[in-house]
Amino acid sequence: MPKQPPETRKGAPQSVSWKLRGTTLSLDQPVLMGVVNATPDSFSDGGAFDTADQAVAAGHTMANEGAAIIDVGGESTRPGAEPVNVDEELGRVLPIIEGLLRGGLLVSVDTSKPTVARRAIEAGAVIVNDVTGLRDPEMRAVCAETGVGVVIMHTKGTPTTMQDSPHYVDVVSEVAVFLADAATSAMAAGVERSAIVVDPGIGFGKSYDHNLALLSAMGAIVDIGFPVLLGTSRKGFLGTILEPSRGSTAPKDRDGATAATTALAVAQGVKILRVHNVALAADVARVVWAIVQISHGKEENRT
């Protein structure tokens, strides 16, 4: 049987804010993280931006639509993706980060490389979003030293291998234990608790059934005691759900399905939603949050 998350962490109250480098982001209401991929091969928007200026403009559009954070990635993490070297990744992300910062936006860098993280932070990124869960001790040290916010994500394997028959005895409890332990390791390295957000890693080393099991039990991830980020946007398992009625769908045709998972996540206490279609997600999150507040006896202030 998989071990359970330590009782000292299970059920701990979530923070209502996220400490970032140089600022603090309120999590009193759901927060949106817009996705800008500076890669030719990302599953949804790979190759969408011919220039850094186009990517920066897309980030500003997302901010205007309601994204509090723009997440910039320079290496595809889609299933089967091959790694890129440090110099290539830096060449992709740094001009975009610098351009977004000139517009005063909060920027996250999506990377698992400590060197890329450090250079991105020096350029102005205030969050490191690491799909390997800060597994590398050097990455933990960079994050602790610079005081950035961190996203600790669960994955099994690498993008090249992660969908090769992933297996769990109990996916929910195993993911919860991994995230709790990874957060403990980060804090032992000097990362502040208030800087940590966790992500169950939907689609990263999980089968269709694993993804659905996690989505149906997000409360168990919330109960670890750290704010939770969820990234389901346009992913393949949504296409599998839609296929009987719609046939094969392109990633951009899955925004309605993504909205359904956004609603479910907000209702279960997820604080941050990583999405491609920010305008739609903003509407969904706003409506579900209003309903949740009423159900908790906290009527939302309206102006």
Phi/psi at 108 (nearest 5 deg)?
-110, 145
Is 274 one of the annotated active-site residues of the chain? yes
> Residues 235, 252, 254, 298: which is the catalytic one?
235
Say which amino acid occupies 152: I
Active-site residue (options: 92, 140, 206, 274): 274
Catalytic residue numbers? 235, 274
